[in-house]
A and B are shown apart, each in its own frame.
Chain A
């Protein structure tokens, strides 16, 4: 029965769209990052650009465009990281009993939630791309024709989807092992800060001190940002004093890294749901 997870997905999406204010804030947050942090920093960084000599034939990319990719990644991270929270309510208020006492297999709960995580990630990524390029001056897909843009968007969604799935599995697995909403909130806060800042989302990671650099290498967010930049900006550009070259190998490896991460968290989430006690 391959569509057994459908009701879980259906219910999540109803609630995602039902709460207008919540839906709206998840979209406003990335816009605010770009509008305030982005524009403020870009006036600083772009002033420093005169200090670097840009190799001929390489395009210079403004900071807002550079960080736009990071903001898409950040939004996917936060949305999926909090996506498992709903399981704590389901568990504590008995809603999970309804599903566990039904003929539906437990694993389907995780799959349904995962699909809802991907969908939310897609909706947000697309809105950020449209909003950023139309209103904030983010310069995505500049050298590309229409079919190229469609392919690039699909490429970005592939990366965002895999990443979101990985983090919603992680978040679900943690939620199923915790008792309280407060505990979950605490863990999410502790996780989200290093994940976000120890990555190449807002700045290049190459100049990090050795420890941070090592952490950035095992940070899935780094690989997501690689993928988004490759598709949105290009395989050869210059930003923040660094020459970015994304070869096919780098991008393929980045995707493989996300897949490995998602497989690991999938195993973790499955183990959690199969061992959860609901009585």
Chain B
């Protein structure tokens, strides 16, 4: 991490959005006391990470990026164990476990060993575990990585519910839609640096009013033509076509663009006008797209036969 500084407000959902390797997990490791801060200072829930790590640990819950479940324990035992290491008394532990199993819809699975759960159930169990200690802040490192769309929606719902009940959420993700849907504020992070921190709406509005995507027979010629003739457009060309961000209403700008191309004899293949999304915002700020490259973290991990 390269000289970063940020503040998360109590009760909000704050996201770190960036590609793999941007430094998101490192930040979580630092804030959750798993790694030592080399330089600078971090205060989590009012406690200094370096000098008061035990108090920090008591105030937070963590859901790690990789699956961290003992496959030979049942759902209930997994939560029991977590409650025990945080020294929650037995009666209270039972009570919290029942509540949480209800919240994440795993009541019927309480006596099933974790190795028999689906990916989404495992994730929900991990989220429930992160909430066992009733933390002030819940850290979620890539909470929906490798999950199918329906399961993701369900997990987002749980995250919102948890936030509504007063828990501050610090989330890292490399999914645009996840950051957009969940966050109160987003920090775009790239190469260990925070590039911008804003609400999703402000981020999108900061780009301009509309995004026009066009694809022509000769994108190179079209780009230079538009660059020479339009002042109110920000233009970028990629393999998929040309992206124009307008300052005025997109549909009123479009006819003049079409005329321009027509006059130069450039064939227009397709046109699309829409509001800016976080994808464009991200490209705008970092100069590149997030490619959702397959990482081995998503794949099921091989587990050799246990023996002891």
Contacts and interface: CB of A to CB of B under 8 A. Distances in A.
30 contacts: A1-B87, A7-B85, A10-B84, A11-B70, A11-B73, A14-B77, A15-B72, A18-B72, A19-B72, A22-B308, A82-B307, A83-B308, A85-B307, A86-B308, A93-B68, A93-B303, A94-B67, A94-B68, A95-B69, A95-B70, A97-B34, A97-B64, A98-B82, A98-B129, A101-B32, A101-B62, A102-B82, A102-B86, A278-B34, A279-B29
B35 interface: yes
Nearest to A8: B85
Given A95-B68, A181-B304, A101 B33 contact: yes
Contact of A22 (B57, B58, B304, B307): B307
Given A1-B87, A101-B62, A279 B34 contact: yes
A176 B54 CA distance: 23
A103 interface: yes
B92 interface: no
Most buried by B among A98, A99, A181: A98
Nearest to A180: B304
A138 to B, nearest CB: 27
A240 B187 CA distance: 78
Kindly name the residue among A6, A93, A100 whose own CB sees the greatest number of chain B CB atoms within 10 A. Answer: A93
Contact of A11 (B64, B81, B308): B81
A104 interface: yes
Nearest to B35: A279
Contacts of B39: none
A21 to B, nearest CB: 11
A103 B308 contact: no
Chain B, interface size: which category? Answer: 20 to 34
Interface in B9-40: 29, 32-35
A48 to B, nearest CB: 39
A2 B58 CA distance: 18
Contacts of A181: 304
Interface string A69-105: 0000000000000110110010001110111111110
B256 interface: no
The B interface, classified by DSSP as helix, strand, loop or mixed, is loop
A4 interface: yes
B283 to A, nearest CB: 31
Q: Which residue among B29, B33, B81, B129 has the maximum number of chain A CB atoms within 10 Å of its CB? A: B81
A97 B126 CA distance: 13
Nearest to A102: B85
Contacts of B68: 93-95, 97-98
Contacts of B64: 94, 97
Contacts of B301: 93
Given A4-B87, A93-B68, A97-B68, A14 B307 contact: no
A86 B73 CA distance: 14
A78 to B, nearest CB: 10
Contacts of A103: 54, 57-58, 85-87
B306 interface: yes
Nearest to B68: A94
Contacts of B29: 279
A6 B129 CA distance: 19
B111 interface: no
The 7 closest A-B pairs by CB, nearest first: A7-B84, A94-B68, A102-B85, A103-B57, A104-B85, A7-B85, A279-B29
A34 B115 CA distance: 37
B66 interface: yes
Interface in B37-76: 54, 57-58, 62, 64, 66-70, 72-73
From A6, A10, A89, A181, residue with most partner B Cβ within 10 Å: A89
Interface in B71-99: 72-73, 77, 81-82, 84-87
B76 to A, nearest CB: 11
A250 to B, nearest CB: 34
A102 B57 contact: yes
A94 B66 contact: yes
A83 B308 CA distance: 6
A89 B86 CA distance: 22
Nearest to A99: B85
Nearest to B57: A103
Which of A19, A93, A103, A104 is the most central at the interface, judged by chain B CB atoms within 10 Å of its CB? A103
